């Protein structure tokens, strides 16, 4: 969207009050995100009343939900444009239509068309860039709204992805993340079929790229071929994020995850055997409808078995039109029980995370310095090849931002490492300087 707007003559401004156009790009994965987005849209009415020439658009996954559109029509008549995930490429035409009609324009496609290539883009300056490789999801987990808002899986062709990454490398981007709702499904819909492993092998050859990352993975599609490619790669990072969601087979079945606890544990053992230095992380949902104390204890036992470096934990959030939302009404887990289980799970994981970080003290790691710490302007914040956060004392006379530097780990905390620079940067500074774009 930013790339298209730039070609139309727009440029970023620091805040809403200075804007001629505000686009609220929404997420529907969790209820709290939806409420936050709708609240923000409501807050903008006062500004819109003061500045009638300003245009306000709502985009993203929430726009694909009929309930959102009905709410906007009833309570947010100050919104000028509503469009969804399938017609981003039509943004210039839609803005012209708003000008012509002078009333709310709603243009949301129910189904996705073909992948549209060569759209203009505008990325933040620096050395990190993100590249979409597959859109949509066909998994239909019973708690997830994504297949309904993002549509069926559509993969981009390898030559188009390679061309984009090569162009990014020429501009100075060195840390590339390939994206998808389920990157492990990449390529199955192409002719002939390919997979993520094939793509990573091809991207490994792009000069100028130092690190390759991928997100988000699904355990069902994480193949032995992919494990072997990562193990042999010099560029694909040793961070393996595999959302398990639950350690109970009965809950996994109700979630429609299409793997068992035993299959998941076998996969993790194969990852550990092939990539001994891999950092393992996961996602876990607590309080899924029908989850018993025994189900929860099985999840706790799985955490003890795998010993993740970190886990992203969530209390179950019902999403409209999903099967689990109906079950929530019939077989809910009481909120106090959900919160208690979440706290117990986090206490366990935090202890394991600290132990994992303590084992790194004394080692030297290559760290990409991303910027200043949000909490302390005298500290640099960066990440290792395995995605561990590292904080470094800042020398005000030395600018390390967007540089890869060798760091000796001197301190271990639950959520980050402390370190000291022990050598000169190993790469040239990106030709692109970092500019934080406002997320208006």
Domains of the chain, earliest start first = 2-107 (3.40.50.12160), 128-358 (3.80.30.20), 364-421 (2.40.50.140)
pLDDT reported for residue 428 = 63
Using CA atoms, how far residue 326 sits from 267, 322, 330, 333, in Å, is 32, 7, 7, 13
pLDDT reported for residue 124 = 83
pLDDT reported for residue 435 = 44
Of the candidates 96, 82, 79, the one whose C-alpha atom is nearest the C-alpha of residue 45 is: 79
Q: Long-range contacts of range 435-440, CB-CB < 8 Å, 24 or more positions apart? A: 435/124, 435/125, 436/124, 437/2, 437/12, 437/122, 437/124, 438/12, 438/13, 438/14, 438/15, 440/12, 440/13, 440/15, 440/16, 440/19, 440/22, 440/23
Per-residue pLDDT of the chain (440 residues; tens, 9 = 90+): 999 999 999 999 999 999 999 999 999 988 889 999 999 999 999 999 999 899 999 999 999 999 999 999 999 999 999 999 999 999 999 999 999 998 999 999 998 888 999 898 888 888 999 999 999 999 999 999 999 999 999 999 999 999 999 999 999 999 999 999 999 999 999 999 999 999 999 999 999 999 999 999 999 999 999 999 999 999 999 999 999 999 999 999 999 999 999 999 999 999 999 999 999 999 999 999 999 999 999 999 999 999 999 999 999 989 988 999 999 888 899 999 999 999 999 999 999 999 999 999 999 999 999 999 989 999 999 999 999 999 999 998 899 999 999 999 999 999 999 999 999 998 665 555 444 444 43
Cα separation, 326 vs 101, in Å, equals: 40
pLDDT reported for residue 430 = 55
Of the candidates 250, 324, 244, 264, the one whose C-alpha atom is nearest the C-alpha of residue 288 is: 324
pLDDT reported for residue 429 = 58
pLDDT reported for residue 434 = 45
Average pLDDT, the chain: 94
pLDDT reported for residue 337 = 97
Cα dihedral 107/109/112/118 (nearest 10): -10
pLDDT reported for residue 432 = 52
């Amino acid at each position: 969207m930013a790339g298209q707007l730039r070609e139309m003559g727009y440029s970023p401004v620091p805040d809403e009050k200075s804007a001629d156009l505000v686009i609220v790009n929404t997420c529907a994965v969790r209820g709290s995100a939806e409420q936050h987005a709708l609240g923000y849209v409501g807050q903008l009415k006062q500004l819109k009343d003061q500045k009638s020439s300003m245009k306000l658009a709502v985009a993203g996954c929430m726009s694909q939900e009929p309930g959102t559109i009905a709410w906007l029509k009833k309570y947010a008549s100050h919104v000028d444009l509503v469009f969804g995930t399938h017609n981003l490429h039509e943004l210039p035409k839609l803005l012209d239509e708003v000008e012509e009609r002078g009333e709310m324009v709603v243009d949301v496609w129910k189904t996705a068309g073909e992948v549209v290539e060569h759209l203009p883009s505008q990325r933040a300056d620096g050395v990190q860039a993100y590249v979409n490789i597959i859109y949509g999801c066909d998994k239909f987990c019973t708690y997830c709204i994504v297949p309904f808002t993002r549509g069926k899986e559509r993969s981009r062709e390898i030559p188009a992805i390679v061309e984009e990454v090569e162009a990014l490398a020429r501009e100075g981007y060195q840390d590339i993340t390939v994206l998808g709702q389920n990157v492990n499904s990449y390529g199955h819909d192409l002719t002939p079929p390919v997979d993520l492993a094939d793509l990573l092998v091809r991207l490994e050859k792009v000069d100028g790229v130092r690190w390759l990352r991928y997100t988000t993975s699904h355990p069902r599609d994480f193949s032995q071929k992919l494990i072997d490619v990562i193990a042999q790669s010099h560029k694909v990072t040793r961070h393996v994020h595999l959302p398990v969601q639950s350690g109970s087979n009965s809950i996994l079945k109700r979630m429609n995850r299409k793997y068992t606890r035993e299959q998941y544990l076998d996969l993790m053992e194969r990852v550990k055997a092939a990539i001994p230095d891999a950092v393992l992380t996961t996602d876990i949902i607590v309080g899924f409808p029908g989850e018993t104390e025994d189900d929860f204890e099985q999840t706790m036992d799985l955490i003890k078995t795998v010993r993740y470096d970190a886990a992203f934990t969530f209390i179950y959030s019902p999403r409209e039109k999903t099967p689990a939302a109906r079950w929530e009404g019939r077989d809910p887990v009481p909120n106090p029980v959900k919160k208690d289980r979440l706290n117990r799970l986090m206490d366990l994981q935090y202890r394991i995370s600290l132990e994992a970080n303590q084992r790194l003290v004394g080692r030297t790691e290559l760290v990409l310095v991303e910027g200043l710490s949000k909490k302390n302007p005298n500290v640099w914040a960066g990440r290792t090849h395995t995605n561990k956060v590292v904080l470094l004392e800042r020398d005000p006379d030395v600018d390390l931002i967007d540089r890869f530097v060798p760091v000796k780990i001197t301190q271990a905390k639950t959520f980050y490492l402390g370190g000291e620079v022990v050598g000169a940067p190993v790469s040239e500074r990106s030709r692109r300087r970092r500019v934080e774009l406002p997320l208006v």
